[in-house]
């Protein structure tokens, strides 16, 4: 018996006690909060407690340093204005909004963050952070969109920072449930908690595969589609997603038949030198799942590719880093739309809408679709006509 939406009495209690829910938090009294400040301080205390210090490289036991998911000098510095970028800052207090009468929920909107703090997590030790990622992190290394080792390292870094986020998210839920037992009866929280557990499990599977590639230097195990822009984009992003439709709106079954687990795609977007890149990597062993998805990048127009990322990056990813310059290009409605997308806790319905739009755009008479007339465009209002290039690595179709 498995229920996505709630914890059954005979299930293990999500507070981490190892007891059955019916014999643990189910019996506890609700915790009372007398004001919003009190609730916020419990959230931020537990968020702090969840941020562990761990080096994700193999069995390394060394202490992790604060490392950037995306290079500070070379990527983030390109986006910053007066040393600030815009992103969701989970280290600050959330904004509490009333979603129903008397019920408030925590939202994280984009806010200004110093680049020295942006995307920093404690998930690699100094030695591994320097050694493993040398080829993409050292300032004098030029990026080449056909260098398999560099492509691998970007996917691996994206994976690692997302994996770390999932470990801390699991921990955060457990801490919160322990402190505030009545939360265990909230459907939306339990649904998210169970999804987070599942994602962690899937990521454990990928952790072994990534470790194996590093040890054996088998960088050709990844297939990568690179989208190259001839100018510097004003955002950066990294995410591990399981897209269940391609760029023409066709369904993709993201579940592996044997393990019943979702398979994932590793996507990293960044400006580098005078160009910009979106790297879309999958493991070759998952190619049966994502062949159609990767192929679809060549089957649609460049405008549709931009439209697709313009929608999914703010919506799905928790790691969108924006330049304040880009933000200023949009009017109030555009800015509102981005804030809404970024803080949306359940994007399923919006994604369904995107799927229908992509379906429509793939029809013959829509080939002239242009991205000009929408309220916000993360690719910027300049460079609208720039030619983008698609480069395939380790893909034979
Ligand atoms: Zn409990
Ligand atoms: Zn280490």
Beta strands 265-272 and 235-241: pairing type?
antiparallel
pLDDT > 70 fraction of the chain, expressed in percent and rounded: 98
pLDDT above 70 for 43: yes
309-336 pLDDT, tens digit each = 999 999 999 899 999 999 999 999 999 9
216-245 pLDDT, tens digit each = 999 999 999 999 999 999 999 999 999 999
Q: How many CB atoms are located within 10 Å of the residue 5 CB?
A: 10
354-394 pLDDT, tens digit each = 999 999 999 876 677 777 778 999 999 888 888 999 999 99
What number is the average pLDDT over the span 279-305? Answer: 96
107-141 pLDDT, tens digit each = 889 999 999 999 999 999 999 999 999 999 887 88
158/240 Cα distance (integer angstroms): 7
How high is the pLDDT of residue 334? 95
Cα–ligand 1 centroid distance for 15 (angstroms)? 4
Cα–ligand 2 centroid distance for 200 (angstroms)? 20
Cα–ligand 2 centroid distance for 127 (angstroms)? 6
How high is the pLDDT of residue 76? 94
Going by C-alpha positions, the residue among 383, 377, 275 that lies closest to residue 326 is: 377
In the chain, which ranges are E strands? Answer: 64-68, 84-88, 95-100, 103-107, 110-114, 120-125, 222-229, 235-241, 265-272, 275-283, 320-322, 389-393
How high is the pLDDT of residue 82? 96
253/261 Cα distance (integer angstroms): 11
Average pLDDT along the chain: 92
Sign of the torsion formed by the C-alpha atoms of 335, 118, 303 and 287: negative
CA–CA–CA angle 101, 105, 111 (5° rounding):
130
**What token pair was written down for 360?**
């429509």
Cα–ligand 2 centroid distance for 208 (angstroms)? 16
How high is the pLDDT of residue 2? 67
Cα–ligand 2 centroid distance for 65 (angstroms)? 9
Q: Which ligand is closest to the CA of 24, given by its number?
A: 1
pLDDT above 70 for 1: no
């Amino acid at each position: 018996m498995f229920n996505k939406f709630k914890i059954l009495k005979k299930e293990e209690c999500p507070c981490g006690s190892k007891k059955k829910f019916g014999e643990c938090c189910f019996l506890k009294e609700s915790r009372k909060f007398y004001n919003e400040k009190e609730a916020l301080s419990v959230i931020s205390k537990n968020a702090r407690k969840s941020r562990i210090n761990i080096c994700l490289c193999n069995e390394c036991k060394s202490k992790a340093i604060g490392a950037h998911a995306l290079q500070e000098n070379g990527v983030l510095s390109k986006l910053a204005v007066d040393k600030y970028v815009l992103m969701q800052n989970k280290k600050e207090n959330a904004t509490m909004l009333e979603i129903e009468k008397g019920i408030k929920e925590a939202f994280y909107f984009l806010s200004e963050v110093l680049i020295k703090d942006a995307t920093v997590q404690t998930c690699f030790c100094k030695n591994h952070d320097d050694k493993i990622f040398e080829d993409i992190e050292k300032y004098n290394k030029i990026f080449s969109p056909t260098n398999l080792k560099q492509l691998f390292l970007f996917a691996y870094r994206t994976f690692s920072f997302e994996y770390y986020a999932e470990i801390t998210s699991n921990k955060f839920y457990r801490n919160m449930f322990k402190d505030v037992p009545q939360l265990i009866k909230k459907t939306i929280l339990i649904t998210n908690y169970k999804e987070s557990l599942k994602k962690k499990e899937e990521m454990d599977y990928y952790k072994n595969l990534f470790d194996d590639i590093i040890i054996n230097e088998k960088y050709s195990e990844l297939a990568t589609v690179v989208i190259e822009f001839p100018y510097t984009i004003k955002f950066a992003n990294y995410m591990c997603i399981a897209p269940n439709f391609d760029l023409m709106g066709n369904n993709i079954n993201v579940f592996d038949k044997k393990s019943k687990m979702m398979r994932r795609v590793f996507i990293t977007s960044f400006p580098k030198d005078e160009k910009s890149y979106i790297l879309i990597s999958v493991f070759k062993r998952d190619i049966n799942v994502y062949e159609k998805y990767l192929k679809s990048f060549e089957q649609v127009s460049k405008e549709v590719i931009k439209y697709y990322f313009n929608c999914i990056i703010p919506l799905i990813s928790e790691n969108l880093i924006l330049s304040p310059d880009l933000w200023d290009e949009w009017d109030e409605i555009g800015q509102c739309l981005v804030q809404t997308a970024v803080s949306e806790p359940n994007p399923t319905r919006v994604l369904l809408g995107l799927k229908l739009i992509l379906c429509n755009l793939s029809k013959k008479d829509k080939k002239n679709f242009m991205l000009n007339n929408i309220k916000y465009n993360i690719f910027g209002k300049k460079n609208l006509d720039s030619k983008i290039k698609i480069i395939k690595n380790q893909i034979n179709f």
